[in-house]
Structure 1
Amino acid sequence: MTSSPVVLITGTDTEVGKTWVTSALFAYCQAHAPKLKVALFKPLQSGAVGDQEHYHRLFDLEQSPLEVNPVSFQAPLAPPLAAARENREIDLAPVWQTLQHLQADYDLVLMEGIGGLGSPITWEWTVADLAQAWRIPIVLVVPVKLGAMGQAVANLALAREKKLMIRGLIRNCLTPCTEVEIEQWANQTLLETLTHTPVIGTIPYLEKAEIPNLAKAAASLQLEALLPGILGTGLEVH
Protein backbone atom coordinates (compact mmCIF):
# COMPACT_ATOMS: atom_id res chain seq x y z
CA MET A 1 0.00 0.00 0.00
CA THR A 2 1.38 3.40 -0.96
CA SER A 3 1.56 5.89 1.91
CA SER A 4 -0.10 9.26 1.47
CA PRO A 5 2.13 12.34 1.28
CA VAL A 6 3.14 14.32 4.34
CA VAL A 7 4.43 17.88 4.47
CA LEU A 8 6.05 19.41 7.56
CA ILE A 9 5.11 23.03 8.22
CA THR A 10 8.07 24.23 10.24
CA GLY A 11 9.27 27.71 11.11
CA THR A 12 12.27 29.85 11.85
CA ASP A 13 11.35 29.77 15.57
CA THR A 14 8.43 29.38 17.93
CA GLU A 15 5.45 31.76 17.67
CA VAL A 16 5.99 32.55 13.98
CA GLY A 17 2.61 31.39 12.67
CA LYS A 18 3.02 27.69 11.89
CA THR A 19 -0.43 26.99 13.34
CA TRP A 20 -2.02 29.74 11.24
CA VAL A 21 -0.38 28.47 8.04
CA THR A 22 -1.38 24.87 8.79
CA SER A 23 -4.93 25.99 9.59
CA ALA A 24 -5.09 28.02 6.37
CA LEU A 25 -4.02 25.03 4.26
CA PHE A 26 -6.54 22.76 5.97
CA ALA A 27 -9.32 25.36 5.55
CA TYR A 28 -8.45 25.69 1.87
CA CYS A 29 -8.70 21.94 1.37
CA GLN A 30 -12.07 21.83 3.11
CA ALA A 31 -13.40 24.68 0.96
CA HIS A 32 -11.94 23.77 -2.43
CA ALA A 33 -11.17 20.05 -2.30
CA PRO A 34 -13.84 18.49 -0.07
CA LYS A 35 -13.23 15.01 -1.52
CA LEU A 36 -9.59 15.15 -0.40
CA LYS A 37 -9.20 13.57 3.05
CA VAL A 38 -6.71 15.71 4.96
CA ALA A 39 -5.32 14.98 8.43
CA LEU A 40 -3.78 17.42 10.89
CA PHE A 41 -0.81 16.18 12.89
CA LYS A 42 1.14 17.73 15.77
CA PRO A 43 3.63 15.02 16.79
CA LEU A 44 4.59 16.52 20.16
CA GLN A 45 3.02 19.34 22.13
CA SER A 46 4.23 21.22 25.19
CA GLY A 47 1.77 23.25 27.26
CA ALA A 48 -1.56 22.51 28.89
CA VAL A 49 -3.52 24.01 25.99
CA GLY A 50 -2.03 24.10 22.52
CA ASP A 51 -2.43 23.39 18.84
CA GLN A 52 -4.44 20.18 19.21
CA GLU A 53 -7.10 22.08 21.12
CA HIS A 54 -6.99 24.91 18.57
CA TYR A 55 -7.57 22.53 15.66
CA HIS A 56 -10.48 20.76 17.33
CA ARG A 57 -12.04 24.06 18.35
CA LEU A 58 -11.75 25.52 14.85
CA PHE A 59 -12.55 22.51 12.66
CA ASP A 60 -15.02 19.65 12.75
CA LEU A 61 -12.38 16.91 12.68
CA GLU A 62 -12.89 13.19 12.24
CA GLN A 63 -9.63 12.63 14.12
CA SER A 64 -9.48 12.02 17.85
CA PRO A 65 -7.27 14.27 20.01
CA LEU A 66 -4.63 11.53 20.18
CA GLU A 67 -4.66 11.16 16.40
CA VAL A 68 -3.86 14.86 16.09
CA ASN A 69 -1.34 14.92 18.95
CA PRO A 70 -0.10 11.54 20.26
CA VAL A 71 2.46 12.89 22.78
CA SER A 72 1.98 15.94 24.99
CA PHE A 73 3.37 17.54 28.13
CA GLN A 74 2.02 20.10 30.56
CA ALA A 75 4.98 22.50 30.83
CA PRO A 76 5.48 24.97 27.94
CA LEU A 77 9.11 23.94 27.48
CA ALA A 78 11.20 22.06 24.94
CA PRO A 79 9.84 18.48 24.92
CA PRO A 80 12.86 16.80 26.59
CA LEU A 81 12.79 19.34 29.43
CA ALA A 82 8.99 19.16 29.75
CA ALA A 83 9.18 15.36 29.85
CA ALA A 84 11.88 15.44 32.53
CA ARG A 85 9.64 17.55 34.76
CA GLU A 86 7.04 14.79 34.57
CA ASN A 87 9.61 12.01 35.06
CA ARG A 88 8.82 10.70 31.59
CA GLU A 89 10.90 9.49 28.67
CA ILE A 90 10.04 10.64 25.17
CA ASP A 91 9.04 7.66 23.05
CA LEU A 92 8.70 8.47 19.36
CA ALA A 93 7.18 5.06 18.59
CA PRO A 94 3.56 6.24 19.13
CA VAL A 95 4.30 9.32 17.04
CA TRP A 96 5.54 7.17 14.14
CA GLN A 97 2.67 4.71 14.53
CA THR A 98 0.09 7.50 14.50
CA LEU A 99 1.65 9.04 11.40
CA GLN A 100 1.58 5.66 9.63
CA HIS A 101 -2.08 5.26 10.56
CA LEU A 102 -2.93 8.71 9.20
CA GLN A 103 -1.04 8.06 5.98
CA ALA A 104 -3.04 4.88 5.48
CA ASP A 105 -6.42 6.50 6.16
CA TYR A 106 -6.02 9.97 4.64
CA ASP A 107 -4.94 11.44 1.29
CA LEU A 108 -2.65 14.09 2.81
CA VAL A 109 -1.13 14.77 6.23
CA LEU A 110 -0.34 18.36 7.26
CA MET A 111 2.24 18.03 10.01
CA GLU A 112 3.00 21.03 12.19
CA GLY A 113 6.47 21.21 13.66
CA ILE A 114 7.73 22.27 17.08
CA GLY A 115 9.63 25.55 17.13
CA GLY A 116 12.29 25.79 14.43
CA LEU A 117 14.26 23.08 12.64
CA GLY A 118 16.91 23.18 15.36
CA SER A 119 14.40 22.81 18.19
CA PRO A 120 14.98 19.67 20.31
CA ILE A 121 12.32 16.98 20.39
CA THR A 122 14.38 14.46 22.38
CA TRP A 123 17.78 14.61 24.05
CA GLU A 124 19.31 13.38 20.76
CA TRP A 125 17.02 14.62 17.99
CA THR A 126 15.95 17.99 16.63
CA VAL A 127 12.99 18.65 14.34
CA ALA A 128 15.43 18.51 11.43
CA ASP A 129 16.64 15.07 12.51
CA LEU A 130 13.07 13.77 12.58
CA ALA A 131 12.34 15.18 9.12
CA GLN A 132 15.53 13.59 7.82
CA ALA A 133 14.91 10.17 9.38
CA TRP A 134 11.28 10.04 8.26
CA ARG A 135 11.96 11.65 4.86
CA ILE A 136 9.35 14.37 5.25
CA PRO A 137 9.55 17.42 2.95
CA ILE A 138 9.35 20.81 4.65
CA VAL A 139 7.99 24.28 4.08
CA LEU A 140 9.50 27.04 6.22
CA VAL A 141 7.30 29.75 7.73
CA VAL A 142 9.16 33.07 7.93
CA PRO A 143 7.56 35.78 10.09
CA VAL A 144 7.48 39.30 8.72
CA LYS A 145 9.59 40.99 11.38
CA LEU A 146 13.07 42.41 11.84
CA GLY A 147 15.67 39.65 12.03
CA ALA A 148 13.58 37.01 10.28
CA MET A 149 15.78 36.82 7.20
CA GLY A 150 18.82 35.83 9.26
CA GLN A 151 16.81 33.14 11.03
CA ALA A 152 15.57 31.83 7.68
CA VAL A 153 19.12 31.56 6.36
CA ALA A 154 20.23 29.67 9.50
CA ASN A 155 17.28 27.25 9.40
CA LEU A 156 17.75 26.45 5.73
CA ALA A 157 21.48 25.95 6.23
CA LEU A 158 20.54 23.26 8.76
CA ALA A 159 17.97 21.83 6.35
CA ARG A 160 20.59 21.50 3.64
CA GLU A 161 23.09 19.98 6.05
CA LYS A 162 20.48 17.31 6.81
CA LYS A 163 19.65 16.98 3.08
CA LEU A 164 15.98 17.76 3.62
CA MET A 165 13.57 18.26 0.74
CA ILE A 166 12.58 21.96 0.87
CA ARG A 167 9.35 22.97 -0.86
CA GLY A 168 9.60 26.71 -0.24
CA LEU A 169 9.21 29.65 2.12
CA ILE A 170 5.93 31.17 3.28
CA ARG A 171 6.05 34.68 4.74
CA ASN A 172 3.57 35.24 7.56
CA CYS A 173 2.39 38.62 8.84
CA LEU A 174 2.23 38.39 12.63
CA THR A 175 0.87 41.93 12.84
CA PRO A 176 -0.78 44.27 10.30
CA CYS A 177 1.94 44.85 7.69
CA THR A 178 2.20 47.22 4.76
CA GLU A 179 3.78 46.07 1.51
CA VAL A 180 6.75 48.30 2.32
CA GLU A 181 7.24 46.61 5.70
CA ILE A 182 6.98 43.16 4.15
CA GLU A 183 9.72 43.98 1.65
CA GLN A 184 11.90 45.63 4.31
CA TRP A 185 11.68 42.86 6.92
CA ALA A 186 11.26 39.77 4.71
CA ASN A 187 12.38 40.86 1.27
CA GLN A 188 11.51 38.21 -1.30
CA THR A 189 14.50 38.74 -3.58
CA LEU A 190 16.97 38.75 -0.71
CA LEU A 191 15.39 35.68 0.92
CA GLU A 192 15.46 33.74 -2.34
CA THR A 193 19.01 34.81 -3.14
CA LEU A 194 20.41 33.94 0.28
CA THR A 195 18.52 30.67 0.76
CA HIS A 196 18.27 29.47 -2.85
CA THR A 197 14.64 28.68 -2.04
CA PRO A 198 11.49 30.18 -3.59
CA VAL A 199 9.04 32.28 -1.61
CA ILE A 200 5.75 30.59 -2.46
CA GLY A 201 3.49 33.18 -0.92
CA THR A 202 2.57 35.45 1.95
CA ILE A 203 -0.13 34.95 4.56
CA PRO A 204 -1.62 38.35 5.50
CA TYR A 205 -2.35 39.34 9.07
CA LEU A 206 -5.52 37.61 10.23
CA GLU A 207 -7.00 39.07 13.38
CA LYS A 208 -9.30 36.09 14.00
CA ALA A 209 -9.13 32.41 13.15
CA GLU A 210 -12.14 32.27 10.83
CA ILE A 211 -12.29 29.46 8.28
CA PRO A 212 -13.30 31.57 5.21
CA ASN A 213 -10.46 34.04 5.83
CA LEU A 214 -7.97 31.24 6.38
CA ALA A 215 -9.01 29.51 3.15
CA LYS A 216 -8.76 32.78 1.22
CA ALA A 217 -5.28 33.41 2.61
CA ALA A 218 -4.07 29.97 1.50
CA ALA A 219 -5.53 30.49 -1.98
CA SER A 220 -2.85 33.12 -2.64
CA LEU A 221 -0.03 30.61 -2.13
CA GLN A 222 1.68 28.69 -4.92
CA LEU A 223 0.02 25.47 -3.86
CA GLU A 224 1.40 23.33 -6.66
CA ALA A 225 4.92 24.10 -5.40
CA LEU A 226 3.91 23.36 -1.83
CA LEU A 227 2.01 20.14 -2.55
CA PRO A 228 2.97 19.01 -6.06
CA GLY A 229 0.33 16.91 -7.74
CA ILE A 230 -2.15 17.43 -4.89
CA LEU A 231 -3.10 21.10 -4.82
CA GLY A 232 -2.59 23.69 -7.50
CA THR A 233 -4.01 25.42 -10.51
CA GLY A 234 -5.62 22.26 -11.79
CA LEU A 235 -7.66 21.79 -8.62
CA GLU A 236 -11.38 21.78 -9.12
CA VAL A 237 -12.94 24.48 -6.96
CA HIS A 238 -16.29 23.65 -5.35
Structure 2
Amino acid sequence: MLKELLITGTDTEAGKTVLTTVLSAYWQKYYPQSRLGIMKPIQSGVGDREWYQNTFKLEQSPEEITPLYFQAPLAPPIAAAKENRPVDLAIVWQTLTKLRSQCDFLLIESLGGLGSPVTDELTVADLAGEWRLPTILVVPVKLGAISHTVANVALARQTRINLKGIVLNCTQPHSDAEIADLTPKDLIQSLTNIPVLGYLPYIDNLTDLDKLAQIASNLDLEKLS
Protein backbone atom coordinates (compact mmCIF):
# COMPACT_ATOMS: atom_id res chain seq x y z
CA MET A 1 0.00 0.00 0.00
CA LEU A 2 1.05 3.61 -0.51
CA LYS A 3 2.77 5.54 2.25
CA GLU A 4 0.23 8.38 2.11
CA LEU A 5 -3.23 8.95 0.72
CA LEU A 6 -5.46 11.98 0.32
CA ILE A 7 -9.17 11.33 0.81
CA THR A 8 -11.33 13.81 -1.06
CA GLY A 9 -14.87 13.80 -2.38
CA THR A 10 -17.31 15.18 -4.87
CA ASP A 11 -18.86 17.44 -2.20
CA THR A 12 -18.88 18.19 1.52
CA GLU A 13 -21.13 15.28 2.53
CA ALA A 14 -19.62 12.61 0.29
CA GLY A 15 -18.21 10.48 3.12
CA LYS A 16 -14.56 11.49 3.45
CA THR A 17 -14.58 11.11 7.23
CA VAL A 18 -16.27 7.72 6.91
CA LEU A 19 -13.64 6.39 4.50
CA THR A 20 -10.76 7.88 6.49
CA THR A 21 -12.12 6.22 9.64
CA VAL A 22 -12.64 2.89 7.88
CA LEU A 23 -9.09 2.87 6.46
CA SER A 24 -7.64 3.95 9.81
CA ALA A 25 -9.42 1.09 11.57
CA TYR A 26 -8.10 -1.32 8.96
CA TRP A 27 -4.53 -0.07 9.29
CA GLN A 28 -4.46 -0.21 13.08
CA LYS A 29 -6.00 -3.69 13.14
CA TYR A 30 -3.80 -5.35 10.53
CA TYR A 31 -0.60 -3.29 10.95
CA PRO A 32 -0.54 -2.70 14.73
CA GLN A 33 3.26 -2.35 14.97
CA SER A 34 3.42 0.48 12.43
CA ARG A 35 2.67 4.13 13.03
CA LEU A 36 -0.50 5.57 11.54
CA GLY A 37 -0.90 9.30 11.02
CA ILE A 38 -4.14 11.16 10.34
CA MET A 39 -4.25 14.71 9.10
CA LYS A 40 -7.06 17.15 8.46
CA PRO A 41 -4.93 20.01 7.09
CA ILE A 42 -7.54 22.75 7.52
CA GLN A 43 -10.71 22.61 9.61
CA SER A 44 -13.45 25.19 9.97
CA GLY A 45 -15.65 24.57 13.02
CA VAL A 46 -15.70 21.61 15.40
CA GLY A 47 -15.66 18.17 13.82
CA ASP A 48 -13.09 15.84 12.34
CA ARG A 49 -10.03 16.66 14.44
CA GLU A 50 -11.97 15.98 17.62
CA TRP A 51 -13.37 12.76 16.14
CA TYR A 52 -9.95 11.36 15.24
CA GLN A 53 -8.49 12.33 18.63
CA ASN A 54 -11.25 10.50 20.47
CA THR A 55 -11.48 7.45 18.18
CA PHE A 56 -7.85 6.47 17.54
CA LYS A 57 -4.68 6.28 19.60
CA LEU A 58 -2.46 8.62 17.62
CA GLU A 59 1.05 9.78 18.44
CA GLN A 60 0.13 13.28 17.33
CA SER A 61 -0.74 16.58 18.93
CA PRO A 62 -4.03 18.27 17.95
CA GLU A 63 -1.97 20.76 15.92
CA GLU A 64 -0.38 17.92 13.98
CA ILE A 65 -3.80 16.55 13.12
CA THR A 66 -5.09 19.97 12.09
CA PRO A 67 -2.42 22.66 11.55
CA LEU A 68 -4.95 25.34 10.61
CA TYR A 69 -8.15 25.67 12.63
CA PHE A 70 -10.84 28.30 12.18
CA GLN A 71 -13.91 28.80 14.35
CA ALA A 72 -16.61 29.46 11.77
CA PRO A 73 -17.88 26.40 9.80
CA LEU A 74 -17.29 28.12 6.47
CA ALA A 75 -14.89 27.83 3.53
CA PRO A 76 -11.35 28.58 4.83
CA PRO A 77 -10.82 31.92 3.04
CA ILE A 78 -14.13 33.18 4.43
CA ALA A 79 -13.57 31.77 7.93
CA ALA A 80 -10.04 33.17 7.99
CA ALA A 81 -11.23 36.63 6.95
CA LYS A 82 -13.70 36.67 9.84
CA GLU A 83 -10.77 36.11 12.24
CA ASN A 84 -8.50 38.54 10.38
CA ARG A 85 -6.02 35.70 9.80
CA PRO A 86 -4.32 34.37 6.68
CA VAL A 87 -4.70 30.82 5.38
CA ASP A 88 -1.04 30.03 6.00
CA LEU A 89 -0.30 27.00 3.82
CA ALA A 90 3.35 27.03 4.90
CA ILE A 91 2.22 25.71 8.29
CA VAL A 92 0.26 22.94 6.60
CA TRP A 93 3.21 21.99 4.39
CA GLN A 94 5.62 21.92 7.34
CA THR A 95 3.31 19.63 9.30
CA LEU A 96 2.76 17.37 6.29
CA THR A 97 6.51 17.08 5.77
CA LYS A 98 7.04 16.21 9.44
CA LEU A 99 4.34 13.53 9.46
CA ARG A 100 5.64 12.05 6.21
CA SER A 101 8.98 11.43 7.91
CA GLN A 102 7.48 10.03 11.12
CA CYS A 103 4.58 7.84 9.97
CA ASP A 104 4.51 4.51 8.16
CA PHE A 105 1.14 5.45 6.64
CA LEU A 106 -0.51 8.87 6.54
CA LEU A 107 -4.17 9.49 5.76
CA ILE A 108 -5.02 13.06 4.81
CA GLU A 109 -8.68 14.07 4.79
CA SER A 110 -9.30 17.08 2.62
CA LEU A 111 -11.80 19.80 3.35
CA GLY A 112 -14.87 19.77 1.13
CA GLY A 113 -14.47 18.45 -2.40
CA LEU A 114 -11.82 18.86 -5.08
CA GLY A 115 -13.30 22.20 -6.12
CA SER A 116 -13.52 23.58 -2.58
CA PRO A 117 -11.54 26.81 -2.03
CA VAL A 118 -8.51 26.68 0.23
CA THR A 119 -7.44 30.28 -0.36
CA ASP A 120 -8.73 33.04 -2.62
CA GLU A 121 -6.64 31.55 -5.44
CA LEU A 122 -6.32 27.81 -4.74
CA THR A 123 -8.66 24.84 -4.49
CA VAL A 124 -8.19 21.41 -2.93
CA ALA A 125 -7.45 20.10 -6.43
CA ASP A 126 -4.65 22.64 -6.89
CA LEU A 127 -2.95 21.55 -3.66
CA ALA A 128 -3.40 17.83 -4.34
CA GLY A 129 -1.73 18.28 -7.71
CA GLU A 130 1.06 20.61 -6.59
CA TRP A 131 1.89 18.52 -3.51
CA ARG A 132 1.69 15.27 -5.51
CA LEU A 133 -0.68 13.54 -3.14
CA PRO A 134 -2.00 10.12 -4.23
CA THR A 135 -5.76 10.54 -4.00
CA ILE A 136 -9.00 8.61 -3.57
CA LEU A 137 -12.26 10.21 -4.65
CA VAL A 138 -15.32 9.41 -2.49
CA VAL A 139 -18.62 9.54 -4.35
CA PRO A 140 -21.98 9.33 -2.53
CA VAL A 141 -24.51 6.90 -3.94
CA LYS A 142 -27.29 9.18 -5.16
CA LEU A 143 -28.95 10.52 -8.28
CA GLY A 144 -26.43 12.62 -10.20
CA ALA A 145 -23.43 10.68 -8.89
CA ILE A 146 -22.26 9.66 -12.36
CA SER A 147 -22.05 13.21 -13.72
CA HIS A 148 -20.44 14.48 -10.49
CA THR A 149 -17.82 11.74 -10.74
CA VAL A 150 -17.02 12.49 -14.37
CA ALA A 151 -16.67 16.22 -13.61
CA ASN A 152 -14.40 15.63 -10.61
CA VAL A 153 -12.19 13.21 -12.50
CA ALA A 154 -11.85 15.81 -15.27
CA LEU A 155 -10.79 18.39 -12.66
CA ALA A 156 -8.31 15.90 -11.20
CA ARG A 157 -6.74 15.37 -14.61
CA GLN A 158 -6.61 19.11 -15.28
CA THR A 159 -4.65 19.66 -12.04
CA ARG A 160 -2.49 16.56 -12.57
CA ILE A 161 -3.69 14.68 -9.51
CA ASN A 162 -2.52 11.10 -9.09
CA LEU A 163 -6.06 9.72 -8.73
CA LYS A 164 -5.68 6.12 -7.58
CA GLY A 165 -9.32 5.11 -7.36
CA ILE A 166 -12.94 5.85 -6.58
CA VAL A 167 -14.93 4.63 -3.59
CA LEU A 168 -18.73 4.72 -3.75
CA ASN A 169 -20.32 5.49 -0.38
CA CYS A 170 -23.88 4.79 0.76
CA THR A 171 -24.79 7.84 2.83
CA GLN A 172 -28.18 6.20 3.52
CA PRO A 173 -29.51 2.65 3.24
CA HIS A 174 -29.88 1.43 -0.35
CA SER A 175 -30.81 -1.90 -1.89
CA ASP A 176 -28.37 -3.58 -4.25
CA ALA A 177 -30.66 -2.68 -7.13
CA GLU A 178 -30.70 1.00 -6.15
CA ILE A 179 -26.91 1.05 -5.85
CA ALA A 180 -26.53 -0.54 -9.28
CA ASP A 181 -28.93 1.99 -10.82
CA LEU A 182 -27.48 5.12 -9.15
CA THR A 183 -23.78 4.26 -9.36
CA PRO A 184 -23.12 1.48 -11.88
CA LYS A 185 -19.51 0.48 -11.33
CA ASP A 186 -18.72 -0.58 -14.89
CA LEU A 187 -20.19 2.59 -16.41
CA ILE A 188 -18.28 4.86 -14.02
CA GLN A 189 -15.03 3.03 -14.77
CA SER A 190 -15.69 3.20 -18.51
CA LEU A 191 -16.44 6.95 -18.43
CA THR A 192 -13.51 7.89 -16.19
CA ASN A 193 -10.87 5.22 -16.82
CA ILE A 194 -10.32 5.19 -13.03
CA PRO A 195 -10.80 1.98 -11.01
CA VAL A 196 -13.73 1.77 -8.62
CA LEU A 197 -12.28 0.20 -5.48
CA GLY A 198 -15.68 -0.80 -4.14
CA TYR A 199 -18.68 0.32 -2.16
CA LEU A 200 -19.02 1.37 1.47
CA PRO A 201 -22.33 0.21 2.89
CA TYR A 202 -24.42 2.56 4.99
CA ILE A 203 -22.68 2.68 8.37
CA ASP A 204 -24.71 3.92 11.32
CA ASN A 205 -22.03 3.19 13.95
CA LEU A 206 -18.52 4.43 13.27
CA THR A 207 -17.25 3.33 16.69
CA ASP A 208 -17.16 -0.43 15.95
CA LEU A 209 -13.59 -0.43 14.67
CA ASP A 210 -13.41 -4.20 14.11
CA LYS A 211 -16.44 -4.01 11.83
CA LEU A 212 -14.97 -1.02 10.01
CA ALA A 213 -11.71 -2.89 9.43
CA GLN A 214 -13.70 -5.75 7.91
CA ILE A 215 -15.54 -3.33 5.63
CA ALA A 216 -12.21 -1.90 4.46
CA SER A 217 -10.91 -5.39 3.68
CA ASN A 218 -13.74 -5.73 1.15
CA LEU A 219 -12.33 -2.82 -0.86
CA ASP A 220 -9.83 -3.51 -3.63
CA LEU A 221 -6.94 -1.96 -1.70
CA GLU A 222 -4.34 -3.80 -3.78
CA LYS A 223 -4.86 -1.16 -6.48
CA LEU A 224 -3.38 1.39 -4.07
CA SER A 225 0.06 -0.23 -4.11
TM-score calculated relative to the size of structure 1? 0.91
Select the residue among 81, 84, 91 that pairs with 2:81.
84
Q: Does 1:221 align with 2:214?
A: no
Q: What is the deviation of 1:36?
A: 2.3
Which of 124, 142, 145 is equivalent to 1:148?
145
Identity of aligned residues (%): 52
CA distance in 2 between counterparts of 1:217 and 1:36 reads 21
Of 159, 164, 188 in structure 1, the residue corresponding to residue 156 of structure 2 is 159
| Map of 2:35 onto structure 1 | 37
Q: Is the 8 A contact 2:36 2:58 kept in 1?
A: no
CA deviation vs aligned residue, 1:99-130 (integer Å, no higher than 9, x gap) = 11101111111000111111100111100110
| AA of the residue aligned to 1:175 | Q
SS in 1 for 2:43: strand
Selected match of 2:118 from 118, 121, 137 = 121
Q: How many residue pairs get matched? A: 223
Q: 1:212 aligns with which of 203, 210, 213?
A: 210
Which residue of the partner structure matches residue 9 of structure 2? 11
Matching residue within 157, 171, 175 for 2:172: 175
**Is 1:110 aligned to 2:124, yes or no?**
no
For the Cα contact (< 8 Å) 2:87–2:119, is it kept in 1? yes
Alignment of 1:57-72 (within 5 A): 57-72=54-69
* RMSD of equivalent CA atoms: 1.1
- Structure 1 gap ranges (5+): 229-238
TM-score by length of 2: 0.96
Q: Which of 181, 188, 207 lines up with 1:191 in the alignment?
A: 188
Asked if structure 2 preserves the Cα contact closer than 8 Å seen for 1:206 and 1:213, the reply is: no
Determine the structure 2 residue equivalent to 1:24.
22
Distance of 1:122 and 1:5 partners within structure 2? 27
SS in structure 1 of the partner of residue 180 of structure 2: helix
Contact 2:7–2:16 under 8 Å retained in 1: yes
CA distance in 1, matches of 2:71, 2:146: 32
Give the AA of the match of 2:110: G
Q: Deviation at 1:42?
A: 0.5
CA contact (8 A) 1:78 1:120 kept: yes
- The runs of at least 4 consecutive aligned structure 1 residues that moved more than 3 Å come to none
Q: Which amino acid aligns with 1:213?
A: K
Distance 1:25 1:66 in 2: 21
* Rounded Cα–Cα distance in structure 1 between residues aligned with 2:179 and 2:35: 34
The one-letter code matched in structure 2 to 1:60 is K
Residue 73 of structure 1 aligns to which amino acid in structure 2? F
Distance 2:152 2:34 in 1: 31
Letter in 1 for 2:216: A
Give CA-to-partner distance per residue, 1:52-87, whole Å, 9 cap, x none.
001111112221111110101111111001111111
Residue type of the partner of 1:5? Answer: K
Partner residue in 1 for 2:95? 98
CA distance in 2, matches of 1:90, 1:40: 20
Structure 2 Cα separation of the partners of residues 123 and 35 of structure 1 = 41
Cα distance in 2, alignment partners of residues 36 and 221 from structure 1: 21
